Amino acid sequence: MTEQSSNFLRTIIDNDLKAGLHTKIVTRFPPEPNGYLHIGHAKAICVNFGLAQEFQGETNLRFDDTNPEKEEQSYIDAIEEDIRWLGFTWQAPVKFTSDYFDQLHAWAVHLIEQGKAYVCDLNAEQLRSARGSLTEPGQDSPFRSRSVAENLELFAQMKDGAFDEGRCSLRAKIDMASPNLNMRDPIIYRIRKVEHHQTGNKWCIYPSYDFAHGQGDALEGVTHSLCSLEFEDHRPLYNWFLDQLPVPSRPRQVEFARLNLNYTITSKRKLKKLVDEQVVDGWDDPRMPTISGMRRRGVSPAAIRHFIDASGISRAVGTVVDLGMLEASIRDDLNDNAPRAMAVMNPLRVVLTNLPEGHQEILSMAAHPNKPELGERDVPLSRELWIDRDDFNLDSSLSRKKFKRLVPGDYVRLRGAYIIKAESFSQDADGQISEIQATVVADSVGNNIDGIKPRGVIQWVSAEHGLPATVRVYDRLFNHPTPDKGDNDFMSFINPDSLSILTDCIVEPSLKTAAPEASFQFEREGYFVVDRFDSTDDALVFNKTIGLRDVWQR
């Protein structure tokens, strides 16, 4: 978050500090370890960590591990890595809601002793039916009047594993007629006979998020519990628990609008379906809106942080940000920072007939046209080259305005090198162009030649020195702006052209030592990144991050 941006959260924190309510700001980021983080989580990370940094405070990373059936250590590891990669650090050590299970259990007993919680035998369907609606009050459970002693005994039996899952639950005793459905005797504890990734088999009852959330904040001294707007209706319950329990501090919950992007889904359940049904190649597939997927696609942390800041923080409900805005941040970042290189996606051989056999010369080209500090790269030129097949057209009558590349009998400049003229060409048995014979215009490297005006500039790679590469060309995963809105089946809007794999590409030899996750602008093609997992010195693999221009606008 930049110092120039302004939002209501910053104002709240600033006012609380000026009023002397706190001497240090403490925020928290509490992900559930049941999947990978996505672009929506990136906003929550930037908000919580960014504001704490700005006010010289700290942020806790606390895993909300109250649902062990869906949680895995691999998700915990991925979440920690994503946060570090985005450029943030948390107040050590990493925390877990399960760290507080003993205290939460003691506080549940406290509520029972105060007559504010009871064991309820209604099953899930009966609970839903008795809850009422927005226009009708709920109905008291027939077990609401159990004595304190009976509730203590039953809750102890729940803890000891005496009951099957679903047999009963512990509910807060609040108000079944409340206009806020969250206050209608919400569940505090459920029976879950599942081994926990942190506590093993110690527990067979687990607290609800609503019960654990505020108490975890209070135990950690969190001053500002910054949540997305869907938790606004939960705030009265958050505060109710704090009011009833002897908590050591009093956090304040404040809500802000979540990040909604068109052409994107951010439901972890739906993202998991894409993974499980192998629509994508894992959570870090470069088409996924996960942080790890964007990283593998070549998006930088700086681009994500800039986008989050530019999209703003508000309480406006239902605001949808155009995916093009994120793509523009990515493109601007890469344009400023990505070194240049040449790659040929669909190779066509060119023989420079007026150069001798074995000819080789080294041309020096800037790594970046606007960043001399990045230095230069050596690019070898030989008698035989590769150009892109799309850069040659048999129709020599095409005007220069319509086709600014190579045609028989005309000139084009090789990027950073000579002007060449296509003299003739060869075709295979199927009529496909197999080779172009061209001549070099002497002394034309870096020079204009009187009487010769090239049609345009094309990229090229030495046939002798070029490196084979696989290029994965990615596009948007969905071809509908709201793939999961309403009754839409998001799976029906998968873009069939979201991935194409080019296996015969040739790249310039300077890329042989490119490090994993290094990004480049391939001249006239777009921005590409060395795949962090699959690319090797002997088998280069590049992922397309984004094109040079926004083709979706058209």
For 429-454, write each residue's pLDDT tens digit.
Answer: 999 999 999 999 999 999 999 999 99
Work out the average pLDDT over 307-315.
93
Instruction: Work out whether strand 343-344 and strand 499-507 pair parallel, antiparallel, or are unpaired.
Output: antiparallel
Residues 257, 264: Cα–Cα separation, whole Å: 17
For 431, residues 6+ apart whose C-beta sits below 8 A from its C-beta are: none
pLDDT at 486: 86
pLDDT in tens, 76-129: 999 999 999 999 999 999 999 999 999 999 999 999 999 999 999 999 999 999
Write down the catalytic residue from 171, 184, 268, 377.
268
pLDDT at 488: 87
Residues 83, 97: Cα–Cα separation, whole Å: 19
Q: Output the CA torsion 497→501→504→509 (10° steps).
A: 110
Q: Which of 151, 190, 166 is nearest to 67 (CA)?
A: 190
For 367, residues 6+ apart whose C-beta sits below 8 A from its C-beta are: 339, 340, 374, 375, 376, 377
Q: Which of 3, 109, 31, 39 is nearest to 325 (CA)?
A: 39
pLDDT at 316: 87
What is each CA distance from 39 to 74, 86, 267, 295, in whole angstroms? 19, 11, 11, 11
Identify whether the C-beta of residue 222 lies closer than 8 Å to the C-beta of residue 27.
Answer: yes
- Give the model's confidence band at 551: pLDDT under 50 very low, under 70 low, under 90 confident, else very high: confident
pLDDT at 2: 44
What residue ranges in 356-495 does DSSP mark as E strands? Answer: 360-366, 376-382, 384-388, 411-414, 419-427, 433-440, 457-458, 461-462, 467-474
Beta-carbon count within 10 A of 303 CB:
23
Is residue 125 part of the annotated active site? The answer reads no
Residues 270, 290: Cα–Cα separation, whole Å: 12
Write down the catalytic residue from 116, 131, 258, 476.
258
pLDDT at 68: 95
Angular region, 132: left φ>0, alpha ψ -120 to 50, beta rest: left
What is each CA distance from 310 to 12, 313, 328, 453, in whole angstroms? 20, 9, 11, 44
pLDDT in tens, 226-261: 999 999 999 999 999 999 999 999 999 999 999 999
Work out the average pLDDT over 366-395.
96
Mean pLDDT of the residues in the chain? 96
Structural tokens at position 328: 């523009």
DSSP letter assigned to residue 510? G
pLDDT in tens, 452-504: 999 999 999 999 999 999 999 999 999 999 999 988 899 999 999 999 999 99
- Give the model's confidence band at 550: pLDDT under 50 very low, under 70 low, under 90 confident, else very high: confident
Q: Which of 59, 45, 63 is nearest to 90 (CA)?
A: 59
Work out the average pLDDT over 305-328.
93
pLDDT in tens, 509-524: 999 999 999 999 999 9
Angular region, 436: left φ>0, alpha ψ -120 to 50, beta rest: beta
pLDDT at 3: 43
Of the candidate ranges 137-146, 278-287, 542-551, the one whose mean pLDDT is the lowest: 542-551
**Three-class DSSP labels, 91-136:** CCCCEEHHHHHHHHHHHHHHHHHCCCEEEECCCHHHHHHHCCCCCC
Work out the average pLDDT over 168-179.
98
- Give the model's confidence band at 406: pLDDT under 50 very low, under 70 low, under 90 confident, else very high: very high
For 144, residues 6+ apart whose C-beta sits below 8 A from its C-beta are: 118, 120, 173, 185
pLDDT at 553: 64
Is residue 268 part of the annotated active site? The answer reads yes
Supply φ then ψ for residue 530, to 5 degrees.
-70, 120
pLDDT at 554: 52
**Residues of the chain with pLDDT > 90: what percent?**
96
Burial of 103 (0-12, 13-18, 19+ CB in 10 A): middle
pLDDT in tens, 322-346: 999 999 999 999 999 999 999 999 9
Q: Which of 105, 106, 193, 118 is nearest to 153 (CA)?
A: 118
DSSP letter assigned to residue 441? P
